[in-house]
Amino acid sequence: MEFDAGSMWVIFGPNGAGKSTLLKAIMGLLKADTGSIKWQGMSRKDIAYLPQQSDIDRNQPMTVLELAALGLWYEIGFFGRVNTSQKARVMDALKRVGMEEFAHRQIAHLSNGQFQRVLFARMLVQNAKFLLLDEPFNAVDARTTYALLDVLKQCSREGQAVIAVLHDYEQVRAYFPNTLLVAREKVAAGKTEEVLTDAYLQKAAELMQKTEGAEWCAV
């Protein structure tokens, strides 16, 4: 299967189905046991990845602006200086996620939702062709969730491909035109309304029962 520029895909399935593992394999963080993943000439800098849990210490002295500017790493490295145009790009990303006014606030003083918005801004700063997100809305409020879903929708309109692991059925239905349903293997892929049918969901549940009997994520 292929993920085209500007498309929005969700990887959906039961708990333990391998959704996050698949996303990491797409990212190149894990090696696939079978099959192959081809990026058609793209490099690592063309892919932005937002993991399920951030490894950033929120108690360290760092401003919102500095955290978002880490998205420039491929351009300036760890010790490079941010120029005027790059700073403007960072500020624009913060504006898109509603955090422009918090640019000089320490990240230690942010709520979970605000912190996740800044991580989204860091991802946007990369200007990557593909955005990969693993359960990006865990532990954040509904207002933040839907604001960031709107950001992803806009990214898709601008030509960026979005591939996200989600467990919320209603969010998938409302925002993602395409779904890859997995249950330790590919169950179905295509238009969301054609994939998330009772028949395919039952097939996925049966496949999981044959392995570890994993339960469905709550929706």
d(C-alpha 31, C-alpha 184), whole Å: 15
| Position 151 in a domain | yes
d(C-alpha 167, C-alpha 43), whole Å: 29
For residues 79 and 113, membership in a common domain is answered with yes
Q: Residue 159: which domain range?
A: 1-42+129-219
Point out the domain boundary residue: 126, 148, 170: 126
Does residue 213 have a pLDDT over 50? no
pLDDT digits over 177-196, tens only?
A: 999 999 989 999 999 999 99
High-pLDDT (> 70) share of the chain, %: 89
For residues 38 and 135, membership in a common domain is answered with yes
Q: Residue 89: its pLDDT value, please?
A: 96
| Position 214 in a domain | yes
| Position 53 in a domain | no
Phi/psi of residue 186, nearest 5 degrees:
-70, 125
Point out the domain boundary residue: 104, 126, 148: 126
Angle between helices 112-125 and 84-96 in degrees, nearest 10:
130
Q: What is the CATH number of the domain that holds 20?
A: 3.40.50.300
pLDDT digits over 9-27, tens only?
A: 999 998 888 898 888 888 7
For residues 120 and 135, membership in a common domain is answered with no
For residues 146 and 204, membership in a common domain is answered with yes
| Position 19 in a domain | yes
| Position 152 in a domain | yes
Point out the domain boundary residue: 126, 160, 175: 126
For residues 92 and 200, membership in a common domain is answered with no
For residues 122 and 135, membership in a common domain is answered with no
For residues 8 and 81, membership in a common domain is answered with no
| Position 114 in a domain | yes
Query: Residues 41-50: what's their mean pLDDT?
Result: 82
DSSP assignment of 137-203: TTT--HHHHHHHHHHHHHHHHTT-EEEEE---HHHHHHH-SEEEEESSSEEEEEEHHHHSSHHHHHH
For residues 110 and 141, membership in a common domain is answered with no
- The pTM (predicted TM-score) of the whole model is 0.87
| 139, amino acid identity | A
For residues 74 and 148, membership in a common domain is answered with no
| Position 212 in a domain | yes
For residues 137 and 120, membership in a common domain is answered with no
Domain count, the chain: 2
| Position 29 in a domain | yes
For residues 81 and 151, membership in a common domain is answered with no
For residues 101 and 135, membership in a common domain is answered with no
pLDDT digits over 68-119, tens only?
A: 999 998 878 777 788 999 999 999 999 999 999 999 999 999 999 999 999 9
